[in-house]
Structure 1
Amino acid sequence: MTHEDVILVDADDHEIGTEEKLKAHQRGHLHRAFSVMIWDGRGRLLLQRRQINKYHSGGLWTNSCCGHPRPGEQSREAAMRRLGEEMGISCPLEPIGTFTYRAELGDGLVEHELVHLFRGVYDGAVAPDPSECDGFSWSAPEAIQSQIRAVPHCFSAWFVKYADAGWPVAPPVDLVLPEL
């Protein structure tokens, strides 16, 4: 893993410093993150399976893209950057809120993040980076909820928390779905 700093924040998302990413996850310090939910024109959410050798949560299914803005980088720009790096796609993103959570990940790692959530709509080829992603799936919200209830251990801790809070339960309300 290369050296990467995250932005430490207080509960109101005010920057209070930076810290090396691994140390922030070892110490459980609250830091800024982002998560992206990409929907297709049929109302399905793009899920990715995290690359098995990631330093945490490898092999687990999660939302379309997630990560941390770099110091001096806005969350939307970071989300756009990582969406291209992880999944090989680009589309407009709109903010849909923030979410703060804390999750013990095992091996002494703690995710404690104030997450900026974004959504986008994309219909096209997906070309994930194999060092980031071991697979992807377009899934209907009802199927995702059912799978999380049946096998929550197959999903990232943050994605389960998002689902419990009702985040990825439906496509954007302004998405026009084709009539079947």
Structure 2
Amino acid sequence: MENPRQHEFQPQASNRSWAGNIATIGTKVGWRHLTVLIDLFSFVWSVGRLISGWMPIWWAGPSASGRRSHRLLLHTDQGSQYRARDYCDLLRKREIICSMSAKGCCWNNAVAEIFFSTLKLELDLDDNRDTLISPQLLKHDLALRIEAYYNRERRHSTIVYISPIVYEQQIIACCTLNTVNP
């Protein structure tokens, strides 16, 4: 696999370069796997699915979130689910460019890895915690944290200390304003 992104973490527009990954989270009834997509322009997070079985993630990919553009680049690690023929074929069919760093590269998927590390810390989802939660409570907590907090309230240093949604709204407003001559 190639790495067309080449550690470029600041694309010039929304919906051009995304990072994706899967985290495994323990619950009372077994493991759940959370898939996320991150727009590297604005750091808007999109939760794919919380699932109980391990699967190649052709769950709809970037088009599921409604945030799609022509020639989208999707960067992941080299997990087997991302190297699966069906997954790669689906990306090609949807004209999504697949990007992966070399094995063992510390920058392999840093943005998604940092996101999961922070999420697990803030929600106390550490594998060593004393009490496991139900899958329903996990789904609720993840939705609140990601959709309500990370996207709408949490400030990010990379995007001038504002939330991802505010950042995108400002970019859209800036680009759509027209000057009017009296």
TM-score w.r.t. length of structure 2: 0.28
Query: Going by fraction, where is helix more abundant, 1 or 2?
Result: 2
- Give me the TM-score of the superposition, normalised by structure 1: 0.28
Which protein is bigger by CA-based radius of gyration? 2
Which of 1 and 2 has higher RCO (CA within 8 Å, sep 6+)? 1
